[in-house]
Structures are given as C-alpha cells and as structure tokens.
Structure 1
Amino acid sequence: MGAGKTTVGRTVARRLHYPFFDSDHELEAHCGVRIPVIFEVEGEAGFRDREAAMIRELAARQGIVLATGGGAVLRAENREVLKARGTVVYLRASPHDLWLRTRHDRNRPLLQTEDPKGKLEALYAERDPLYREVADFIIETGKPSVAQLANMVLMQLEMAGFPIDPPQPASTPAGESEPPAQDPNP
C-alpha cells in the first residue's frame, strides 16, 4: 500500500489506451461501502474473500490495466490468477517510503495501529517475497515521478515484446476524402 499502483497504473493505462481498474475501488463500488467498513463488519478474512472474487472477475477481462490492493498477493489463488492472466509489475518501495506516503491516510485499516511504521515493516517482510514470486518486472519506486515510473513500466513491457503503440486507424492520403461511415443499424 502506498507504492503508487493506482496512480502509475492509471498513467500506464492512459498511455496504452486501455481501460484501468483498481480492484479496491471496484470492490467498494460493488459493495457500496469503503474498505474500512468491510474490514469492520467482515474482518480481514471476509475482505480477502471479496477481494479474491473481484480479482478473478477483473482478470478475466482482456486488454486492461489492473491495480490490486497491497495484500492481494497473500492468497495463492490471487497470485495464480494474476500470473496466468497478465504481465505483473511490482512497484517496490521501502517500508520507510511507504510510511511517509501513507502516514496520514485513515482509509488503510491495517495501519490503524499504535505503530504503523512497524506494521508496514512487518507487512513488507511478509509480502515482498510473494510480490517477487508473481512479478514479471520489479520497478523501484524511490524518487522518480509518476511519469518516470510509467515510462519505466512501459519500457519493460516493450523490451518484453508487449505492443506499446496500439494500432492507429489508417490515414487517408492528402486530398482524398474518407468514405462516409456506415450505419450499423440501417
């Protein structure tokens, strides 16, 4: 949490001309309540069940950019779905950087403790090996801007053979007019 998955994911999606989805935001929209309320009512296990179902649903779509919640990798089924259905990018940040980015955010139930920095360090120790297990690429978030991080993601994808420039409609030579669009429902 706090690594920039949503912000960078949105930027990458825009550059690829793909729809963007954040599994946490989609889950909140589906349930009609914020994640802290789901945690409060159903506990972390209930939230993780809902999260896994949402990830399965979103990962079944073609041609999207998906940002998952930071704890999505805790479940083997999520790791398997993500690895099988897409290219996984791990935006890695140090626990200290994560703490600086999230310390004032009250919408993060796992950090509502006496020692949020210690909690982030424990979460990092548990999750980092899982992120590495599923990741096709690891991008260090450190100091780069969102645009620089998005460029790094796109460069990694391009080097792996991912088509970065979506096909553009054929242009009409100068001086010629395009034929009128056909009405699909005459």
Structure 2
Amino acid sequence: MPKSTGLSRHQFVALAVPTTIIATSPTFSRACAAIAAAEGERTMTLTPYLLFDGTCHDAMEFYKSVFGGELTSTKVKDSPAKEHMPAFQQEKTINARLRSGTIEISASDWLMLNRPRVPGNTVCLYLSGGTFDELKTLFEKLSQGANVTDPLKEMFFGAYGALNDRFGVRWMFQSNKPA
C-alpha cells in the first residue's frame, strides 16, 4: 500500500474540483504556502497526468509493479479538500505520483462533478513550475484554435489554467511562482 503524504502544490492540480470550493479553505492555503517555501524554486517540467474513474489507486500500484520506484498517494478523506467533497468521493484518490528514475506519472480519480469524464479527457500533459510569464507564453501559443476550459490566471495557490489544444490534447498548467 502506498504511503499517504501531505498535499503539495504539484498535487493541488489533481484536486480537479471547482476552485471556489477549495478557495474557502484557509487551512489548505496555509499548507500550500508552507510546502512551497520548503520546496524552493523549481524548473518547469512536463508530466503525463492520468485521470481514472475510481481505479487510480489500483492503476498506480500496477504501474509501480511495472516501473518500480516510489509511489505516493493521497485519498480525498486524507486531504484538506475532504470537508468540501461529497461522502461518495472520500475514498477516491485526490493525487498519486510515481517516480522511478527519469519516469514520472501523476494521476487522480475524476473528481469534477460539473464536467463529464469521457475518453479523450482522461489523459493530459501537466506543465508545472517556471514563472507565470513562462507559462503564459506557452499557454497563449497552445491556445491558438484551442478550447480553453480554465483561463490561465493567478489564484491563491499560484497560477493555474487548462485547455484542449486544436488537436484535442488536454493540457494543464500550474506555477507556484508569482507573476
């Protein structure tokens, strides 16, 4: 069984719940700030991000058996978002990360009640780190002909945005560094 860890900024994107709900949690905001201070500056990284329908834990355990490495996983009930999520989602995985050498996979169960989970939006590329301006430049370029689902903007935890590019590829952007 993977160990459960605290929620990092990188893991925040996996929350995939309306930001307005999470923004009401001052505990979560303080936790993000403390973790960011401990992590220090990070360079930009591109990671595959997988979204499952209640099978994230089993899938990530399987990938660990294939690739080896260290798996961290957090359930909704063990996260700061637990008070803002319905009871039926408490056992779902809010974030999992497998690291094995140069291989890294991030994942969560689908938690967005206001958006349907359909083939094509269950795998995305997660661009994280860097500055807001660096992400903004890439976001604007990828936005050409795209369906922007979450405009890139500064939030209480850093910057976040998401889009489906003109080829149908899902992208999520997140930075801890202010503009």
- TM-score (norm. length: structure 1): 0.24
- TM-score (norm. length: structure 2): 0.24
Structure having the larger proportion of residues in strand: 2
Q: Which has the larger radius of gyration?
A: 1
Structure having the larger proportion of residues in helix: 1
